[in-house]
Amino acid sequence: MARFGKVLTAMVTPFRQDGSLDLDAAASLAQWLSENGSDGLVVAGTTGEAPTLTHDEQVELIGAVVSAVDIPVVAGAGSNDTAAAVDLTKRASEAGADGILSVAPYYNRPSQAGMARHFATVAAATDLPVLIYDIPVRTGRKVDTATLLELACGVGNIVGVKDAAGDPAETAGLIARAPDGFEVYSGDDSLTLPLLAVGAVGVIGVATHWAGAEHRDMIAAFEEGDLVAARQINAGLMPSYDYETGLAAPNPIPAKAMMRLVGLPVGRCRPPLDVEPDGLAQQAAAVLAGTRLSADG
């Protein structure tokens, strides 16, 4: 089904030199992404530096992007505080988002029952479709398959999951048991092709900032049954997967460096992600040289 599209980009948030939010640059970036392979956008997620944005900034950002493009915009509206997540979900809905991405509560590591109640409460705060974001490496707690199935079957507007749990076999079990219409998006670029093989509908990606067309072609090749082509495209994306995050340059530092390289004024990250390692721009140039974007100028 891919209700939000097959290639969604988890968009970086542009800042001015003084660190303030740059809404004009956000609108321009959103338009550029929509012209370069993205079927939809996720705004104010982890890649969008949501932890350093105020709720007012998040709502302003969502509104600016919604006004700039005619593709689906999914709003990051999660928190480890259920009341805060509810408030932000309501405000994102009013700002015109097409869907909500709600991350598993982080740091306080609630029980599965606590997470189930959290997500159900958030979903009740909006009429929009809600995607759960499962990324245990950042949150400290996986949303168990049983919890996801409980929510998928029991909460009408919880329609899918952004899966960054890193376990395709477990995801295969989720998809096999989930109700019709429940969609899994790859939340880990390097696992998109394996997750497509077990039933994922697309990707919410980072490397799609500069390789959206390649991701689109890989998914199309897979759906057409041309697995050789899909594997070849995926192999060509390996440098992008390796580049997009690391201990010295965590996401979204590399993505912002890449966007600046292609001439888009997104600025640098806010502290504590404001330190870029030496040589990052050169790495970005080497990765870009292998993409269609570079070939097309």
Tell me the catalytic residues: 133, 162
The whole-angstrom separation of Cα 289 and Cα 193 is 22
The phi and psi torsions of 161 (rounded to 5 degrees) equal -145, 140
Residue position matching structure tokens 């003084």: 18
Residue 112, token pair as written in the block: 């599965």
Q: Which residues of 86-104 are buried (b: 16+ CB within 10 A; e: fewer)?
A: bebbbbbbebebbbbbbbb
Q: What distances in angstroms separate CA 70 from CA 4, 22, 158, 226, one per listed residue?
A: 12, 20, 23, 30
Spatial contact of 40 and 275, defined as CB atoms under 8 Å apart: no
* Other C-beta atoms lying within 10 Å of the C-beta of residue 37: 21
